[in-house]
Amino acid sequence: GAVVSQHPSRVICKSGTSVKIECRSLDFQATTMFWYRQFPKQSLMLMATSNEGSKATYEQGVEKDKFLINHASLTLSTLTVTSAHPEDSSFYICSARGGQGRFEAFFGQGTRLTVV
């Protein structure tokens, strides 16, 4: 199967700082990438959908100025959590779809963000 690499796997940052999470499709071109947030023992909550070269589409209730998403190329999307707050501590997962005949989504390993 295709590989999606997410980095970093864990990050701790201070309140008020920003942190960037990268999501790369290693062996296919991801026309669409999705960013999810997952709370403990819960399902995935879609935050935004990003298409290469265009602005991300955010789900209702997700602050676009706080969670900046950039999809600069067909293999890279980034999520930047700005002015991080302890409430932003969570598990963030990216997924990617794309490539000829690929209908399934492939997921990154996730990033555990802790804001102290």
Partner 1 sequence: AQSVTQPDIHITVSEGASLELRCNYSYGATPYLFWYVQSPGQGLQLLLKYFSGDTLVQGIKGFEAEFKRSQSSFNLRKPSVHWSDAAEYFCAVGPPNTGNQFYFGTGTSLTVIP
Q: Does 110 contact partner 1 by CB under 8 A?
A: yes
Interaction of residue 35 with partner 1, rule CB under 8 A: no
Tell which one of 62, 64, 91, 114 touches partner 1 (CB under 8 A): 91
When asked if residue 11 is in the footprint of partner 1 (CB under 8 A), the reply is no
Interface mask toward partner 1 for 50-89; x: CB under 8 A: -x--------------------------------------
Euclidean distance between the first and final Cα of the chain, in Å? 37
The residue within the footprint of partner 1, chosen from 46, 62, 68, 76 (CB under 8 A), is 46
Q: Strand pairing of 44-51 and 32-38? A: antiparallel
Long-range contacts at 23-26 (CB < 8 A, ≥ 24 apart): 23/76, 23/77, 23/78, 23/79, 23/94, 23/96, 23/108, 24/75, 24/76, 25/74, 25/75, 25/76, 25/96, 25/98, 25/106, 26/2, 26/75
> Which residues are near partner 1 by CB under 8 A?
1, 4, 6, 31-32, 34, 41-44, 46, 49, 51, 91, 93, 95, 97-98, 102-110, 112
